[in-house]
A and B are shown apart, each in its own frame.
Chain A
Amino acid sequence: MDFTDITKNLPNGENMGGIVQKVYFGFWKDVDQWPTKPDAPLTVEENGELTGDLVMKTGTRMFELYITDDTGEFNIESVGEVDGKSFVEHLTFFHPGLQKKILGFMNAAKNDNLFFVVTDAEGQQYLMGDAMRPAVYQGAPDGNGTGKETAARKGMSAEFTYKTPNVYVYTGTVPLTEAI
Chain B
Amino acid sequence: MWQNYFKIIGIVPGRVVVPGKGTIDFSKENVPVELCKQLFDSGFPYLELTDLGKEVLYNQPKISKSKSDRKSKGSAESHDAL
Contact = CB atoms under 8 A, between A and B. Distances in A.
A176 B16 CA distance: 6
A171 B42 CA distance: 11
Interface string B19-33: 110010000000000
A177 B12 contact: yes
Given A123-B20, A180-B10, A55 B15 contact: no
Contacts of B19: 123-125, 171-173
Contacts of B10: 55, 179-180
A166 to B, nearest CB: 20
Interface residues of B, number: 15
Interface residues of A, number: 18
A24 interface: yes
Contacts of A124: 19
B2 interface: no
B16 A173 contact: yes
Given A53-B45, A55-B45, A174 B12 contact: no
A173 B44 contact: yes
A69 interface: no
A120 B69 CA distance: 55
Contacts of A24: 17
A178 interface: yes
Given A123-B19, A123-B20, A177 B45 contact: no
Nearest to B18: A173
Interface of B: 10-20, 23, 44-46
26 contacts: A55-B45, A61-B11, A117-B17, A123-B19, A123-B20, A124-B19, A171-B19, A173-B16, A173-B17, A173-B19, A173-B44, A173-B46, A174-B16, A174-B17, A175-B11, A175-B14, A175-B15, A175-B16, A175-B17, A176-B14, A176-B16, A176-B17, A177-B11, A177-B14, A179-B11, A180-B10
